[in-house]
């Protein structure tokens, strides 16, 4: 008879049967993040509405100007002064095209704007009068600036101011060369930067510069442009 303190031996396996494998501890259930596990469905949250973009500002509106300077111009030229405003403390006068020479002469003789610092143009191709011709004036005596603007179409000539400021000679030629604007009364209106045979006006916003450059180089130099 066995002693109660002795360990019990496992029961003998009958002949022809395989011994049972010892029981293994139960494996923990796979977590939702485990390999091959299907994550639990998430409750669909309502999509947040995208914030609306603020409207693109159309740019600062010009500030109307009615100071003593513009009053003198309006008193002298009346309706030929179409608009007046200020931009960065600089007075801007929009002048009727036909009156530009008279207004320019008055600006020199009576308002002491003795220096034509620049004369250029801007192309607004969708506008009926597509060009702004811009004169930037400076008074040495007053240390003051004034901008005159004239609007014209591609077919309308602008009066020359070469007889008022000599610097206008080459400046008007440059504007003619780049924009094709005609200055009526200019003593020698011809291209300044481009060859005389050049076709078109490069600073017009509808100008295809690569096509023109390629054609000119091929015709005059006998090579391909490489642009």
Mean pLDDT, range 4-29, rounded to an integer: 51
Please give the tally of structural domains in the chain. Answer: 2
Residue 69 inside a domain? The answer is yes
Does the pLDDT of residue 177 top 90, yes or no? yes
Tell whether 188 and 90 lie within a shared domain: yes
Query: 203: helix, coil or strand?
Result: coil
| Average pLDDT for the chain | 81
Distance in angstroms (rounded) separating the CA atoms of residues 187 and 125 = 28
Mark 16-49 as b/e (b = at least 16 C-beta within 10 Å).
Answer: eeeeeeeeeeeeeeeeeeeeeeeeeeeeeeeeee
- 119 is written with which tokens? 């004369």
Full-model pTM: 0.68
Tens digits of residue pLDDT in 113-151? 999 999 999 999 999 999 999 999 999 999 999 999 999
E runs forming strands in the chain = 63-64, 81-87, 90-95, 115-123, 131-139, 144-152, 158-159, 183-184
Residue 8 inside a domain? The answer is no
In the prediction, which pLDDT does 24 show?
54
Mean pLDDT, range 50-59, rounded to an integer: 49
The count of other CB atoms within 10 Å of the CB of residue 123 is: 20
Tell whether 72 and 172 lie within a shared domain: yes
Residue 4 inside a domain? The answer is no
Residue 39 inside a domain? The answer is no
Residue 221 inside a domain? The answer is yes
Does the pLDDT of residue 7 top 50, yes or no? no
In degrees, rounded to 5, the angle at the alpha carbon of residue 78 between the alpha carbons of residues 69 and 162 is 70
Tell whether 100 and 210 lie within a shared domain: no
The H or E element containing residue 176 is helix 168-179
Tell whether 135 and 201 lie within a shared domain: no
Tens digits of residue pLDDT in 63-121? 888 899 999 999 999 999 999 999 888 899 999 999 999 999 999 999 999 999 999 99
Tell whether 130 and 159 lie within a shared domain: yes
Tens digits of residue pLDDT in 162-175? 999 999 999 999 99
Q: Show the domain range for 212.
A: 194-227
Query: 171: helix, coil or strand?
Result: helix
């Amino acid at each position: 008879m066995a002693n109660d303190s002795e360990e019990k031996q496992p029961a003998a396996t009958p002949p022809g049967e395989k011994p049972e494998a010892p029981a293994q501890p139960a494996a923990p259930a796979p977590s939702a993040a485990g390999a091959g596990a299907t994550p639990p469905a998430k409750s669909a949250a309502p999509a947040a509405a995208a914030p609306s973009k603020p409207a693109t500002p159309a740019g600062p509106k010009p500030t109307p100007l009615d100071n003593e300077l513009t009053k003198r111009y309006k008193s002298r030229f009346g309706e030929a002064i179409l608009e007046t405003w200020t931009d960065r403390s600089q007075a801007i006068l929009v002048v009727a095209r036909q009156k530009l020479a008279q207004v320019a002469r008055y600006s020199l003789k009576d308002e002491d704007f003795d220096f034509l610092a620049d004369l250029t143009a801007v192309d607004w191709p969708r506008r009926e009068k597509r060009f702004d011709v811009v004169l930037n004036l400076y008074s040495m005596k007053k240390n003051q600036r004034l901008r005159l603007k004239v609007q014209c179409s591609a077919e309308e000539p602008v009066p020359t101011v070469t007889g008022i400021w000599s610097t206008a000679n080459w400046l008007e030629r440059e504007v003619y060369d780049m924009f094709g604007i005609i200055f009526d009364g200019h003593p020698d209106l011809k291209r300044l930067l481009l060859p005389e045979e050049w076709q078109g006006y490069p600073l017009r916003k509808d100008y295809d510069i690569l096509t023109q450059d390629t054609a000119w180089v091929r015709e005059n130099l006998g090579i391909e442009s490489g642009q």
